[in-house]
Amino acid sequence: MTEQAISPLRRRMIEDMAIRKLGAKTQHDYVQRVKDFAVFLGRSPDKAGKEDLRRYQLHLSESGAHTPKINATVSALLSPLVKTFKAATPPS
C-alpha cells in the first residue's frame, strides 16, 4: 500500500496533534477545518493572520453556521496550528 501525498505542513500538524495525544476523530476534524479554511483563503493557511481568521468567522456566520460550529472551528484552527505554523514559518 502506498502512502497518499501529504504536504509538509499537514504532516507536521498531524505529528503535533499526535504528540498532544488528540484522538483520531479530533485529528480528523481539525484537519478538515484547516482544509475548509484553506479553501476559503484560496491558499495555504500557514501565513494566515488574525484578520483572515476574523473574515472566516464572519463567512461562517453569514453562511448560517451556529455558534458551536464557529467556536469548534476557531478552536481547531488556533489550537494545534499556532505552534505548527510558527514552527513551519522561517524567521524573517
Band the pLDDT of 24: cuts 50, 70, 90.
very high
What letter represents residue 10's amino acid?
A: R
Query: Over the stretch 33-81, which tens digit does the pLDDT of each residue have?
Result: 989 999 999 998 888 888 999 999 999 999 999 999 999 899 888 865 5
Full set of structural domains in the chain with CATH? 8-87 (1.10.150)
54, 36 Cβ separation under 8 angstroms? no
| 1 pLDDT above the threshold of 50 | no
Predicted model pTM: 0.76
End-to-end distance of the chain based on CA atoms, in angstroms?
40
| pLDDT value at residue 42 | 95
d(CA 61, CA 74): 12
| pLDDT value at residue 40 | 97
d(CA 3, CA 84): 22
